Amino acid sequence: DAGVIQSPRHEVTEMGQEVTLRCKPISGHDYLFWYRQTMMRGLELLIYFNNNVPIDDSGMPEDRFSAKMPNASFSTLKIQPSEPRDSAVYFCASSPGTSADTQYFGPGTRLTVL
Amino acid sequence: GDSVTQMEGPVTLSEEAFLTINCTYTATGYPSLFWYVQYPGEGLQLLLKATKADDKGSNKGFEATYRKETTSFHLEKGSVQVSDSAVYFCALSEGVGNTGKLIFGQGTTLQVKP
């Protein structure tokens, strides 16, 4: 298996632009997680899905952020409009789903908002 | 709510030194416990895990024992190498509700010098 795939790996954009990050989870995994990592705040869980349904989005910073999972093999995290404080590394992870199961992380997308 | 506390870093050691990174947790239910490692420029990857009290997880010379009585899961390695330089995250699963969600500590940076 190729593991969790994220694209793009790097994104540089200007303030006010729309940004879309993409994730393909490992086939057969029921859970998908979106995280954000910064030096100041560490690793933060933004939202997670179970069987394509959003379960907990309490970590989404504000209405500028939205996430979708239209099918079991694809998810997007969208920021509109983007701001410099959104600059971070965004990780997607997937898991088979029980509490004993490992989460498998993608390589991350490094977002820079100028 | 559930939480994880790790010792603050950075931890700087010489090659072949003994490593301990402390991790304590607060949880309801019976969580599984994990150590993840993040090498520079990469996503997190599972290092080891333990799913019940007194279990010992081990991998690549690293060990950690699930201690329910002290609510701890300290990471140890007898002889570190330069290649072990990375950020180490302790995490627990939400045992109640079996959500698959992980609660991460803030991470501890390890630097190993030749």
pLDDT digits (tens, 9 = 90+) for A42-99: 899 999 999 999 999 999 988 999 999 999 999 999 999 999 999 999 999 999 876 6
- Ramachandran sector of residue B47 (left: φ over 0; alpha: ψ -120 to 50; beta: rest): alpha
∠ Cα B60 B65 B67 (to 5°): 165
- Find which of A35, A36, A43, A57 to mutate to test the B interface (most B CBs within 10 Å of its CB): A43
- Nearest Cβ partner for A99 among B43, B98, B107: B98
What average pLDDT does range A4-20 have in this prediction?
A: 97
Residue A22 near residue A32 (C-beta atoms within 8 A) = no
Residues of B in contact with A100 (CB under 8 A): 32, 49, 51, 93
Asked if B42 lies within 8 A of A107 by C-beta distance, the reply is: yes
pLDDT digits (tens, 9 = 90+) for B36-94: 999 998 999 999 999 889 999 999 999 999 999 999 999 999 999 999 999 999 999 87
pLDDT of residue B97: 57
Q: Which residue of A lies nearest to B37 if distances are taken between CA atoms?
A: A105
pLDDT of residue A61: 87
Please enumerate in sequence order all residues whose Cβ is within 8 A of that of B77, keeping only pairs 6 or more positions apart, or say none: B18, B19, B61, B62, B63, B84
**pLDDT confidence bin for B30, thresholds 50/70/90:** confident
**pLDDT confidence bin for B98, thresholds 50/70/90:** low
Q: Is the pLDDT of residue A10 over 90?
A: yes
Q: Tell whether the torsion through CA atoms of B74, B79, B81 and B83 is positive or negative.
A: negative
pLDDT of residue A98: 65
Asked if B104 lies within 8 A of A31 by C-beta distance, the reply is: no
pLDDT of residue B85: 97
Q: If 0-12 CB within 10 Å is exposed, 13-18 middle and 19+ buried, where does residue A16 land?
A: exposed
pLDDT of residue B39: 95
- Find which of A6, A39, A95, A99 to mutate to test the B interface (most B CBs within 10 Å of its CB): A99
Residue B107 near residue A42 (C-beta atoms within 8 A) = yes
- Ramachandran sector of residue B97 (left: φ over 0; alpha: ψ -120 to 50; beta: rest): left
